[in-house]
């Protein structure tokens, strides 16, 4: 039986109030929103020295978890902390405006982009310094510039995490140095990275092995080198961020792209993280492919004064707002079901581009993704 016919047989229509549909749509602000459907414990290595305390592979467009272990365990995450900090910096205006760094903020242990007292630097250069050489000085300098103090930056980072739904993440330091109650999870880091990669500046910076930036007194050009060796070791790698402290161990958040599929991988406390990420990517790219979802026939009743006066009921045919693709293994397409969520009726005339319904796709009964439905004509 053809896939489209299978969906037509399985499709059911649920009626929701306008408020319910709006609430549903609000929780699905991304084009596609996925829950962990096929979360698997996968035996990666037999040798203990190559194990990871936690890991996850997530498809970036949809958020589907492809593989994982201890994905919700709260662990120290070292300088992968800087992912949210760099994103917050790059969301600011006047990124190329130069200012003098705070002399106290840059006095910090650990990795550095090389800031010294009296240096003039831009927010964009600081974001590069945070992401490539993992500059603790860059993170602190950005925090003081934007929020008046490092503590103020940390508070803003926690507020941002709450807004993004990172329920198992808490920051104590701006740069990722070890501290009690400074933690995240593999799942939260993957979710955060999925959001961050939608920022063009962030995606570009984290994909660069080297970048030329200007700072100093006066500013002059210099090169920053990326600590993320996976950019050179794995041809499909497009980012993202390394991290290491004594408590956290080796932490790595990366992303890779092949054949139209973008994957995000997170490992926490993994000694051989380069090999582990490459292994996971090869496994997922081999097992999954981006598969188009079928067009589910659906409609909604139009209501209005003129229609009621003439005793006419008009059905507005709906279509997907875009062609949606999801990562599926061979054979999973046959196990998908679709449910159309819509209001009881809509007022005429039909409005082009308005979302009248959502088609919710599920795999083996677990919510997979939702696709907005608009008027077909």
Provide the pLDDT for residue 144: 98
- Rounded to a whole number of angstroms, the CA Rg of the chain reads 24
CA distances to 12, 38, 156, 248, 337 from 362, in Å: 12, 12, 36, 36, 5
**Domains present along the chain, CATH in parentheses:** 3-30+293-375 (2.60.410.10), 48-289 (3.40.710.10)
Rounding to the nearest 10 degrees, give the CA dihedral for residues 20, 22, 24, 29. Answer: -170
Tokens standing for residue 172: 């104590």
For the purposes of burial, counting CB atoms within 10 Å of the CB of 41, is it exposed (0-12), middle (13-18) or buried (19 or more)?
A: exposed
Show which residues are catalytic: 79, 82, 134
Lateral strand order in the sheet of 261-270: 65-69, 52-59, 261-270, 249-258, 237-245
Tokens standing for residue 17: 């109030």
For the purposes of burial, counting CB atoms within 10 Å of the CB of 198, is it exposed (0-12), middle (13-18) or buried (19 or more)?
A: exposed
Is the Cβ–Cβ distance between 361 and 370 less than 8 Å? yes
DSSP string for 73-87: --B--GGGGHHHHHH
Provide the pLDDT for residue 33: 38
| pLDDT one digit per residue (tens) for the chain, 377 residues | 333 333 333 333 333 333 333 333 333 333 333 444 344 444 444 343 357 999 999 999 989 999 999 999 999 999 999 999 999 999 999 999 999 999 999 999 999 999 999 999 999 999 999 999 999 999 999 999 999 999 999 999 999 999 999 999 999 999 999 999 999 999 999 999 999 999 999 999 999 999 999 999 999 999 999 999 999 999 999 999 999 999 999 999 999 999 999 999 999 999 899 999 999 999 999 999 999 998 888 999 888 755 555 555 688 999 999 999 999 999 999 999 999 999 888 888 888 889 999 999 999 888 888 999 999 87
Closest CA to 51 of 203, 210, 357, 269: 269
- Pairwise CA distance, residues 100 & 92, whole Å: 17
Helix H or strand E encompassing 230: helix 230-233
Burial 1-32 (b: 16+ CB within 10 A, else e): eeeeebbeeebeeeebeeeebeeeeeebeeeb
Provide the pLDDT for residue 20: 33
CB within 8 A of 139, min separation 6: which ones? Answer: 81, 82, 85, 126, 130, 153, 174, 175, 176
- Pairwise CA distance, residues 249 & 245, whole Å: 5
Is the Cβ–Cβ distance between 228 and 239 less than 8 Å? yes
Provide the pLDDT for residue 312: 56
Provide the pLDDT for residue 311: 53
Ranges of beta strands (E only) in the chain are 12-15, 52-59, 65-69, 98-100, 120-122, 210-216, 219-225, 237-245, 249-258, 261-270, 288-292, 298-303, 314-320, 325-329, 336-342, 346-347, 355-363, 366-375
Provide the pLDDT for residue 159: 98
For the purposes of burial, counting CB atoms within 10 Å of the CB of 180, is it exposed (0-12), middle (13-18) or buried (19 or more)?
A: exposed
Provide the pLDDT for residue 306: 57
For the purposes of burial, counting CB atoms within 10 Å of the CB of 236, is it exposed (0-12), middle (13-18) or buried (19 or more)?
A: middle
- The C-alpha angle with vertex 372 and arms to 367 and 376, in degrees rounded to 5, equals 135
Closest CA to 262 of 55, 60, 66, 35: 60
Provide the pLDDT for residue 310: 56
């Amino acid at each position: 039986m053809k896939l489209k016919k299978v969906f037509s047989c399985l499709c059911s229509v649920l009626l929701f109030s306008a408020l319910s549909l709006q609430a549903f749509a609000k929780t699905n602000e991304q084009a596609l929103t996925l829950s962990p459907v096929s979360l698997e414990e996968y035996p990666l290595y037999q040798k203990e020295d190559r194990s990871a305390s936690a890991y996850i592979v997530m498809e970036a467009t949809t958020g589907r978890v492809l593989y994982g272990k201890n994905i919700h365990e709260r662990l120290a995450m070292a300088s992968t902390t800087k992912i949210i900090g760099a994103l917050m910096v790059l969301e600011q205006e006047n990124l190329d405006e130069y200012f003098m760094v705070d002399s106290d903020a840059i006095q910090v242990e650990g990795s550095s982009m090389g800031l010294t007292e009296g240096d003039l630097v831009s927010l964009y250069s600081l974001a590069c310094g945070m992401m490539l050489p993992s500059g603790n000085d860059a993170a602190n300098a950005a925090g003081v510039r934007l929020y008046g103090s490092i503590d103020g930056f940390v508070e803003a980072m926690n507020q941002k995490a709450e807004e993004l739904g990172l329920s198992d993440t808490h920051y104590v330091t701006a740069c990722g140095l070890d501290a009690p109650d400074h933690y995240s999870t593999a799942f939260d880091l993957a979710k955060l990275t999925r959001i961050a990669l939608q920022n063009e500046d962030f995606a570009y910076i984290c994909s660069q092995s080297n970048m030329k930036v200007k700072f100093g007194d006066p500013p002059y050009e210099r090169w920053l080198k990326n600590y993320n060796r996976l950019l050179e070791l794995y041809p499909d790698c497009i980012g993202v961020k390394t991290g290491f402290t004594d408590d956290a161990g080796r932490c790595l958040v990366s992303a890779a792209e092949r054949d139209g599929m973008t994957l995000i991988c997170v490992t926490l406390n993994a000694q051989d993280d380069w090999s582990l990420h490459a292994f996971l990517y090869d496994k997922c790219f081999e097992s999954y492919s981006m598969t188009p979802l079928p067009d589910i026939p659906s409609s909604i009743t139009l209501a209005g004064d003129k229609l009621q006066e003439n005793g006419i009921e008009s059905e507005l045919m709906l279509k997907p707002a875009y062609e949606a693709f999801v990562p599926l293994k061979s054979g999973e397409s046959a196990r998908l079901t679709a449910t159309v969520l819509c209001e009881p009726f809509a007022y005429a005339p039909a409005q082009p581009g308005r979302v009248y319904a959502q088609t919710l796709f599920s795999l083996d009964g677990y919510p997979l993704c939702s696709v907005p439905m608009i008027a077909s004509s």
